[in-house]
Amino acid sequence: MKIGNDVKEKAEILLRELTLEEKIGMIHGDGLFRTKAVERLGIPALYMSDGPMGVRAEFENAAWIPAGGTEDYVSYLPSNSAIASTWNRELAHACGSVLGEEARGRGKDVILAPGINIKRSPLNGRNFEYMSEDPYLTAEQCVPLIQGIQEHDVAACVKHFAVNSQETRRLWVDTEVDDRALREIYLPAFEAAVNRGGSYSIMGAYNLLRGEHCCESRFLLDGILRKEWGYEGAVISDWGAVHHTKEAALCSLDLEMSVTDNFDDYCMAQPLKKAVENGEVDEGAVDEKVRHILWLMLSLHMFDVDAERKVAVDTERKRGSYNTPAHREVTLQAARESVILLKNEEGRLPLEKEKLKKLLVIGRNADKIHSNGGGSAEIKALYEISPLMGLKTHLGGNCEVKYVEGYYGEDKQEDGTNWQEDSLKDGGGTGRQAEQVDAQTARKRKELLEEAVRYAGEYEQVVFVGGLDHEYDVEGRDRADMKLPYGQDEVIEAVLEANPNTVVIMVAGSPVEMGRWEKKAKAVVWSWYAGMEGGNALAEVLLGEVNPSGKLPESFPYSHKDCSAHCVGEFGEEKLLHYREGIYVGYRYYEKQNVPVQYCFGHGLSYTEFAYSDLAVEKQENAAEFYVNVSCIVKNTGNRTGKETVQLYVSDRTGKTEKPVKELRGYEKVDLAPGESRRVNIRLSRKDFAYFDEAAGDFAVNAGEYGILVGASLQDVRLIGRVTV
Ligand code: BGC
């Protein structure tokens, strides 16, 4: 991200006018979500807001007390996992554009999104906020999303930089990760976000990396971000992630934010002012931070500069808007393409809408609202269509839709406190204990199970809607395991026993164990937290009005114990966490070690069929670069219009370096009518063949032969080609 010279010159004019006190006010929180204005010079405060799924509700400036009122209801967007599972860059862009326009409409300058940390373990409580286990897919989906946000004179704040892959002890956990994994797995999406996406800001993570707090890290912020990547945007701390005045002052952090109301005591507030005054820190360090904040403000057209009067003056800035019908349409389109058909035997789905006279819907997630939970990603959704409502509205009055809860889980009691206020305690995050069930709960569950089974036997058409909720997919806490909570396994098994045609639908933000019932289910559908129109999108898929086209952006293992973070590396309580698995994260590990998974990366079925043919692999070379143009023909051979994501994986056959079996390096989504075919083109370049050579400290390409594998998922490779580079 580069800032123009005109902006830089204007910033210098203001910078020269600012007193130390005023500068300090611009580089730390003077409210929970804002900095201090410099009224004398016309410089406004910088207003920030969470988060990735919509613009968060207003809080009082100095307390985690919701402002209340009706004006902060907003459009609820599909989660980043959902956006990733569309494998559709245009949709990611459209979602970003909604988020940016709504943030601007709500008067915000910075939206604290998207979250792009790599999903290293299925147990991370915040996985729903992130995109994928794969750096390429994350990069490809987050770049247009960021660009969409920033079209509205609002800054994206891509987070959490970096290697922030668990919630347990999130403030204090120190990660040891080798250079190769850092460069190949954990950093590429951030590099793409700031360089290709042009993200005007980036949020430093809570955790430590190689002994340094990420928000005070010379290695990460000075070395990699500023020096190597040439980043000129603003670096904002996570809320409460700064611990030392001098370290923060002397590294490339620009703005310290936190969760407490003692704003003057923040490291980069009065303590930093004192350190400058007594000569411990050079004022130039403060200037550098203010400079970045001014560049950000000018880039967002928050003001212009009158060079003669040396003050900030009004300029034209986009005004934004929120809750528009067009925004809701985007959330619906994205939700539709995010639904993943995991399994569909005997053509169990779609349900035949016209013939459907009676439908039994079992499961609490059918009737549950999720938008108000999850931590900082929570929002006040204008509305949220539940799966039950989606089905009812689509089926209308001629079909009897019977709902039973199926399983019991306790809804959290609102006690008026905000978790964020306490979020710096106890290391800032915890692991979770396996579920404890008291006698009363057990009784309730038994009753609900019996009721569900009774009805399942009576109804011909049954869908079960379960999964997780934001008690499990939540900031500040990791899951103990991948087991379905609330005794759902028993219910699903029993219901499938009573009615083997039951369609099982999981609504969740991270994978769950399905081993106890998956083989018995004929159809399994996956929905992430899919935004305000999620229930409509799901109903349309179930009823065949929309042909599913989502593909898994992460592997679904049988159990977390199969995952490399747990069986090779370390996860959880240790103060020093070794990412011993290195680059073998997600499918890179499962494939290398032949570990079977429940559903593989890239998997997702359709109601139609696609045939792949005519692979062409052509090399194009000049002195500076080489390209490999890959193309193939995809044909819709079924009888419904549908979308297919053609995935391209590269495998190194040179044998010169230890590498994953294959790695995702390209994808294209095509929309095809029955019988229609199209040639899909994907261009690879040098970086797509490169690995990080630790000895050389740089990316390198092995000369020799590579496999070009094209297909419908990691395991469903349809065409194989070769190329020598
Ligand atoms: C989260 C950030 C969030 C910030 C502000 C922190 O707890 O880690 O993602 O943006 O709070 O709410």
pLDDT (mean) for 390-411: 95
Q: pLDDT, tens digit, for every residue of 503-527?
A: 999 999 999 999 999 999 999 999 9
Q: Regarding beta strands 523-527 and 340-344, do their DSSP bridges make them parallel or antiparallel, or are they unpaired? A: antiparallel
> Ligand 1 pocket: which of 475, 477, 478 to mutate (most atoms <8 Å of CB)?
475
Residue 238 Cβ contacting ligand 1 at under 6 Å: yes
Please report the sign of the dihedral spanned by the C-alpha atoms of residue 717, residue 718, residue 723, residue 725: negative
Tokens of 724: 């020598």
Is the distance from CB of 560 to CB of 515 less than 8 angstroms? no
Q: pLDDT, tens digit, for every residue of 688-718?
A: 999 999 999 999 999 999 999 999 999 999 9
Only one residue has tokens 């999108």, namely 537
**Ligand 1 atom 12, closest CA:** 376
Please report the sign of the dihedral spanned by the C-alpha atoms of residue 395, residue 397, residue 399, residue 400: positive
pLDDT of residue 95: 99
Identify the CA nearest to 86 among candidates 672, 709, 711, 644: 644
**Ligand 1 atom 8, closest CA:** 238
pLDDT of residue 428: 86
- Our answer to whether residue 6 is catalytic in this structure is no
Is the distance from CB of 292 to CB of 254 less than 8 angstroms? yes
The CATH classification number of 610-724 equals: 2.60.40.10
pLDDT (mean) for 47-58: 97
Half-sphere exposure of 354 (CA within 13 A, CB side): 0
Q: What's domain 5-313's superfamily in CATH?
A: Glycoside hydrolase, family 3, N-terminal domain (3.20.20.300)
d(C-alpha 495, C-alpha 130), whole Å: 33
Ligand 1 atom with minimal separation from the 206 CA: 8
pLDDT of residue 584: 98
**Ligand 1 atom 7, closest CA:** 239
Only one residue has tokens 């079209």, namely 151
How many A from CA of 99 to the centre of ligand 1? 17
Where helices occur in 543-654 by DSSP H, the ranges are: 564-567, 587-592
How many A from CA of 213 to the centre of ligand 1? 16
Ligand 1 atom with minimal separation from the 129 CA: 9
- How do the residues of the chain divide into helix, strand and coil, expressed in percent and rounded to 5? 30, 25, 45
Specify the fold of 335-408+425-592. Rossmann fold (3.40.50)
> Ligand 1 pocket: which of 127, 376, 475 to mutate (most atoms <8 Å of CB)?
376
Residue 239 Cβ contacting ligand 1 at under 6 Å: yes
pLDDT-derived band of residue 1, with 50, 70 and 90 as boundaries? confident
How many A from CA of 239 to the centre of ligand 1? 6
pLDDT of residue 117: 98
How many A from CA of 153 to the centre of ligand 1? 22
- For residues 397-423, b (16+ Cβ closer than 10 Å) or e, as one string? eebebebbbbbbbeeeeeeeeeebeeb
Tokens of 354: 């016209």
Q: pLDDT, tens digit, for every residue of 250-293?
A: 999 999 999 999 999 999 999 999 999 999 999 999 999 999 99
How many A from CA of 694 to the centre of ligand 1? 33
Residue 49 Cβ contacting ligand 1 at under 6 Å: no
pLDDT of residue 668: 98
DSSP, res 162? S
**Active-site residue among 50, 238, 478, 489?**
238
Where exactly are the structural domains of the chain? 5-313, 335-408+425-592, 610-724
Is the distance from CB of 371 to CB of 535 less than 8 angstroms? no
Ligand 1 atom with minimal separation from the 159 CA: 9
pLDDT-derived band of residue 575, with 50, 70 and 90 as boundaries? confident
Query: Measured between alpha carbons, how far apart are the two ends of the chain, in Å?
Result: 31
pLDDT-derived band of residue 407, with 50, 70 and 90 as boundaries? very high
Quick one: residue 586, left, alpha or beta (phi over 0 = left, psi -120 to 50 = alpha)? left
pLDDT of residue 436: 85
* 65-69, 136-140, 495-499, 712-716: range with lowest mean pLDDT: 65-69
pLDDT of residue 235: 99
pLDDT-derived band of residue 494, with 50, 70 and 90 as boundaries? very high
> Ligand 1 pocket: which of 50, 256, 260, 418 to mutate (most atoms <8 Å of CB)?
50
- Please give the backbone phi and psi of residue 264, each rounded to the nearest 5 degrees, phi first: -70, -20
d(C-alpha 114, C-alpha 194), whole Å: 12
pLDDT (mean) for 173-191: 97
**Ligand 1 atom 4, closest CA:** 239
Question: CB within 8 A of 126, min separation 6: which ones?
Answer: 115, 117, 167, 375, 473, 474, 475
Only one residue has tokens 């991200």, namely 1
Tokens of 272: 């930093």
Would you tell me how many other CB atoms lie within 10 Å of the CB of residue 68? 10
Residue 50 Cβ contacting ligand 1 at under 6 Å: yes
Q: pLDDT, tens digit, for every residue of 197-249?
A: 999 999 999 999 999 999 999 999 999 999 999 999 999 999 999 999 999 99
Residue 170 Cβ contacting ligand 1 at under 6 Å: no
pLDDT of residue 433: 77
Ligand 1 atom with minimal separation from the 33 CA: 5
Give whole-number Cα distances, 511 to 124, 222, 465, 477, 598, in Å.
Answer: 11, 36, 15, 16, 10
DSSP, res 712? S
Give the chain's mean pLDDT: 97
pLDDT of residue 43: 98
Q: Is the pLDDT of residue 434 over 90?
A: no
Ligand 1 atom with minimal separation from the 376 CA: 12
**Ligand 1 atom 3, closest CA:** 376
Is the distance from CB of 466 to CB of 369 less than 8 angstroms? no
Q: Is the pLDDT of residue 417 over 90?
A: no
